[in-house]
Amino acid sequence: MKKGVVLYLILSIFVIGCSSDKQSHEELPFIDVSKEYPEKGIVLTDIADITYVHLTSKSDDYLFKGSIDYVTQNRIVVIDRSSHSLLFFSKDGNPRSRFNHRGQGPEEYRDAASVMYDEARDDVFVSPDFSDHIMVYSSSGEYKRKITLPQININGQMALFDDQSILVYDNTKLWQTIVQNNSAEKITFTEQGGDSSFFLISQTDGTVSDYIQLPNKNINLSYRDLGDTFIGQVNYGRVRKCPDGLLLYNPEADTVFLYGKDKSLTPYMHKKPLLSDFNPMTVMDICMDAGRFQFMSVYPYLKTGSSPSPKYYMRDKKTGEIFRQKITLPDYQGKDFYINPRLSNYYEKEYHFELDFTELEEAYNANQLSGKLKELVASLSKEEDANNVFVFVDFHP
């Protein structure tokens, strides 16, 4: 824990940026949520290459409810939320394989809450909600192994770190604290691991190889719904891939850290003022590093009600300029987009937008579409192709 405290004290005085060698002697990037940054229009094709992809449904087996869950260099993975089937598509949208092992057997999963895919090894990691394990299959559904976690993982977040390890964010302690602070009945969780919310486990058997301590503060970011019957917390991004490793984040501490490929831990970006110094509190979500930009979102903290509406920002790493996002697509008139850094579990070079097919048809009939997007929508039959269209974004360096 001393290491984390030292890092935080250094950050509060003057801290060295570390997102790249060029920034190693510069002040750590930050966003000041007390300021009103200007809105700036960005044409998406000016900062990235884009590709329109329709996930083809040649049969009902490849129709799905949900969205894209994981992307690798050559594959798109989808969890069908209606059946908990795993669907695999090529990057041009053609079906490749599918399987469903939902059940109670020793080689089955109770539900498919989240998925990760190691394309090189053809390892599909399926993580059920509220479970103490991860099931591993091939993309054709062949059972490979079961990875036992150190403790029950309550809707946590994970990322493949290297060929041997998975980095896990476990929010068991967070939910225990929220429940105990808001309930007369004491609820406990059995813990078998160390005192950390971030840790590395083996892809083979779940053995913990590294506990990662991030600075944290005893700040309650939970909320109650308007009926005062439900207690929850906004599902802030805690783990995100980036070109240099993984970004790790505790929003309660206002600082994003880079966990490098060499397992070093260094400050990457922070928010000011601190949560404890600004009223009303404004929370930053995890950031996303892509091309020459860092993408961020901030939320006003609400004690009651549903999840608050975010503000989306982007920072030019070359100039340091920060502005509100207003992203447009030349082929879709009248439609604004934003980059949500919470979209995780991803091939680190890319991002995607999902375009509702019904809205696309309406836009087509209203003559709002042009170029390749218009050609694609015109070629699709609503009766035969019900899956939505996706815009894949590959940011320029």
Amino acid code (one letter) for 84: H
Residues, the chain: 397
What pairing do the DSSP bridges indicate for beta strands 208-212 and 222-224?
unpaired
Q: What local confidence, expressed as pLDDT, does residue 229 receive? A: 60
Q: What local confidence, expressed as pLDDT, does residue 15 receive? A: 35
How many angstroms separate the CA atoms of 94 and 281, rounded?
46
How many angstroms separate the CA atoms of 340 and 375, rounded?
27
Q: Is 61 exposed, middle or buried (0-12, 13-18, 19+ CB in 10 A)?
A: middle
Number of separate helices (H) and strands (E) present in the chain: 5, 29
Cα 213 from chain centroid?
20
8 Å CB contact between 381 and 41: no
Which stretches in the chain have pLDDT values below 50? 1-26, 187, 189-194
Name the β-bridge partners of 299. Answer: 283
- Axis crossing angle, helix 357-365 with helix 371-379, rounded to the nearest 10: 110
How many angstroms separate the CA atoms of 90 and 55, rounded?
9
Q: What local confidence, expressed as pLDDT, does residue 347 receive? A: 62
Name the β-bridge partners of 315. Answer: 294, 322
| Two tokens, residue 180 | 């105990």
| Two tokens, residue 13 | 């005085």
In this structure, how many other beta carbons lie within 10 angstroms of the beta carbon of residue 163? 9
| Two tokens, residue 315 | 């920072």
pTM over 0.75? The answer is yes
| Two tokens, residue 90 | 């090529």
How many angstroms separate the CA atoms of 199 and 268, rounded?
19
How many angstroms separate the CA atoms of 57 and 95, rounded?
7
Per residue in 6-29, pLDDT (tens digit) is: 343 333 333 333 344 344 434 799
Domains of the chain: 68-213 (2.120.10.30)
Give how far Cα 252 sits from Cα of 75, 162, 215, 297, 339, Å: 35, 28, 9, 15, 22
8 Å CB contact between 157 and 285: no
How many angstroms separate the CA atoms of 371 and 363, rounded?
13
Q: What local confidence, expressed as pLDDT, does residue 145 receive? A: 98
How many angstroms separate the CA atoms of 146 and 125, rounded?
9
Q: What local confidence, expressed as pLDDT, does residue 390 receive? A: 94
